[in-house]
């Protein structure tokens, strides 16, 4: 049997992650820790963070700044900013990575696949032709070809260029 090693996952698997909300913890950390926490963008009502266990390079999470667990709890201003921020991130991902398409979605509730069911968030997953192969099917493994630090740097640069326009 072949083995693929992913030691970076050991910090997550089987560990107590505490009772705090990872989104709130990262958002409430000082702004100078944004790079360390992979907080890519901060708006008034929403923010963007890199998924540290991505399905593909550039997998982003768009979340409200307010700790809210369900779509029905969002106010109209939060909903508008979440969607406009999602649109901006799709634009940045196109600029930085040139994907062939995207999966954009929400998992509401643990049974629906929400890994963090207490804080609503939108997934943006860039997709390329042929990006799904035998690895997830036979090996229950995903191959991510780029380090998160490099992904963050590319997207931050694209965001800065967007703000210069």
Domain ranges of the chain: 19-164
For 115, how many CA atoms within 13 A lie in the half-sphere containing its CB?
12
The answer to whether residue 3 scores a pLDDT higher than 60 is no
Q: For residue 135, is pLDDT > 70?
A: no
Name the superfamily (CATH) of residues 19-164. HIT-like (3.30.428.10)
pLDDT at 5: 52
The residue that leads in pLDDT, 69 or 144, is 69
**Residue 123 is a catalytic residue:** no
Instruction: Give the range among 3-7, 20-24, 104-108 with minimum mean pLDDT.
Output: 3-7
Considering only residues 132 and 53, tell me which one the structure prediction assigns the higher pLDDT: 53
Residue 165 has pLDDT above 90, yes or no: no
Q: Model's pTM, two decimal places?
A: 0.79
What's 36's DSSP letter?
H
Query: Is 129's pLDDT higher than 90?
Result: no
Q: Which of 17, 59, 119, 121 is catalytic?
A: 121
Does the pLDDT value for residue 6 go beyond 90? no
Neighbours of 48 (CB within 10 A): 24
117 class by beta-carbon count within 10 Å (0-12 exposed, 13-18 middle, 19+ buried): middle
Q: What is the mean pLDDT of residues 63-91?
A: 97
pLDDT mean over 83-100: 96
Which pLDDT band, with edges at 50, 70 and 90, does 20 fall under?
confident
Write out 119-151 in H/E/C secondary structure.
CCCEEEEEECCCCCCHHHHHCCCCCCCCCHHHH
């Amino acid at each position: 049997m072949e083995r693929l090693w992913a030691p970076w996952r050991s910090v997550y698997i089987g560990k107590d992650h505490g009772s705090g909300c990872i989104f709130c913890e990262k958002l409430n950390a000082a702004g100078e820790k944004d790079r360390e926490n992979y907080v890519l963008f901060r708006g008034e009502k929403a923010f963007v963070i890199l998924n540290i266990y991505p399905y593909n390079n550039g997998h982003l999470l768009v979340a409200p700044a307010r700790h809210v667990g369900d779509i029905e709890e969002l106010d109209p201003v939060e909903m508008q900013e979440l969607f406009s921020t999602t649109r901006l991130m799709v634009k940045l991902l196109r600029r930085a990575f040139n994907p062939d398409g995207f999966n954009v979605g929400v998992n509401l509730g643990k049974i629906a696949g929400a890994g963090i069911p207490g804080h609503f968030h939108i997934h943006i997953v860039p997709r390329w032709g042929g990006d799904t192969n035998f690895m997830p099917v036979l090996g229950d493994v995903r191959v991510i070809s780029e380090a998160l630090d490099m992904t963050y740097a590319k997207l931050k640069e694209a965001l800065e260029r967007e703000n210069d326009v």
